[in-house]
Amino acid sequence: MIDMEYVHNQANEEGLLSWYADSRAAMIGVSLRGKSHTAHDMPMQDYHCLRVLPNGWLLAVVCDGVGSEEHSDIGSSIAAESFADYTVKYWGAFLDEASILNLLKCAALYATGKISRESGDSGNPVRQYSTTLHAAVYANGVVYYFHSGDGGIIAMLEDGTYSLLTKPQKGEDGESVVPLMAGPKAWQVGTADSGVQSILLCTDGVYDKIAGTVLRECGLGLDRASAAFFISPWAADPSETPKESAELFRRVFRESQPNDFYPRIAKAVAQGNEDGDPLQFVADYVFRKNRPLTSLQGIQDDITVAVIRNTARYPELQPMEYYKGPDWEAINQRVYRQLYETKQAGVEECDTQE
């Protein structure tokens, strides 16, 4: 049965909130109209869908319409809805890895076909509907994913570590986006089967704050403390409903509520452990080094995050030091030396330990 009756949605002029929970997992989706879009009377070009597949596995789809294209808001909603609907409709009895990944590619082809039909019906060039698309099926610790464009998918593994499942796709100029309509040769599909606890799908505004180019090139990979706020089950309040989680995510992006943000990260880094002082750790190594809440609230573009959390079990513990935030002062000094000092002067590579 198509699961729309199980996933709750709340839409208004600000954006779209979605949520779902069962005895094993919870899904939260938030799409918010960008501050710059509101200022210039532009529509929200992000979109997301959450679905429950016929066998109970969970699906999240996130799309980001290309900002320079006139009808990309329509393209992103068509792509997300059609991709999700196709996956639910044709979800079959053959659940081996190859069949699932092939189904995701077929869903993407169906989505591009729907966009092409909209273009033909309207008479507008198909490029005006350009969008990215990220999708993930969560199956009891295994993730099957599809990715096209910038933004991406981040996983928290059952051993408590974090992993970037996808790589942002940019054009040869390093700036333009490789959209869904670029076709199968550009798409990334794959499986993460080493035991996944939770996943975060996000459009480029959020992804660039958590796992931007400098962090990846310096070997840090991502800002684990900021990622933990969204996907770590240790950060969540057990009494909180998925709807309340969705509203919390919206509030953090849109309203200055540090008490909603930093204590959650402290819970994540403490991981149920009473040793040490997690609040002091967050103050010293997350807040002062990075100010992630200010960074997230400074995003001007549309914002979308979609999270699937395993709520039936908790991951293994990592030392608090694993969650040290990026030291942007030190990183910027190294980037400056790489850009403006010669190799003869002994330019150091990025130090991943600071």
Torsion on CA atoms 263, 269, 274, 276, rounded to nearest 10: -100
Helix axes 258-270, 242-254, angle to 10 degrees: 120
State pTM to two decimals. Answer: 0.91
**Structure confidence by residue, pLDDT tens digits, 304-323:** 999 999 999 899 999 999 99
**Structure confidence by residue, pLDDT tens digits, 7-28:** 999 999 899 999 999 999 999 9
| pLDDT computed for residue 1 by the predictor | 42
| pLDDT computed for residue 347 by the predictor | 46
Q: What domains lie within the chain, and their CATH numbers? A: 8-337 (3.60.40.10)
| pLDDT computed for residue 194 by the predictor | 84
Q: How confident is the model at residue 344 (pLDDT cuts 50, 70, 90)?
A: very low
Q: How confident is the model at residue 164 (pLDDT cuts 50, 70, 90)?
A: very high
| pLDDT computed for residue 146 by the predictor | 98
**Structure confidence by residue, pLDDT tens digits, 40-98:** 888 999 999 999 999 999 999 999 999 888 999 999 999 999 999 999 999 987 789 99
Torsion on CA atoms 174, 177, 181, 184, rounded to nearest 10: 50
**CA 112 – CA 67 distance, rounded (Å):** 18
Q: How confident is the model at residue 212 (pLDDT cuts 50, 70, 90)?
A: confident
Mean residue pLDDT of the chain comes to: 89
**Structure confidence by residue, pLDDT tens digits, 107-155:** 999 999 999 999 999 999 999 999 999 999 999 899 999 999 999 999 9
User: Which residues make beta-bridge pairs with 31?
Assistant: 16, 304
| pLDDT computed for residue 172 by the predictor | 67
| pLDDT computed for residue 221 by the predictor | 83
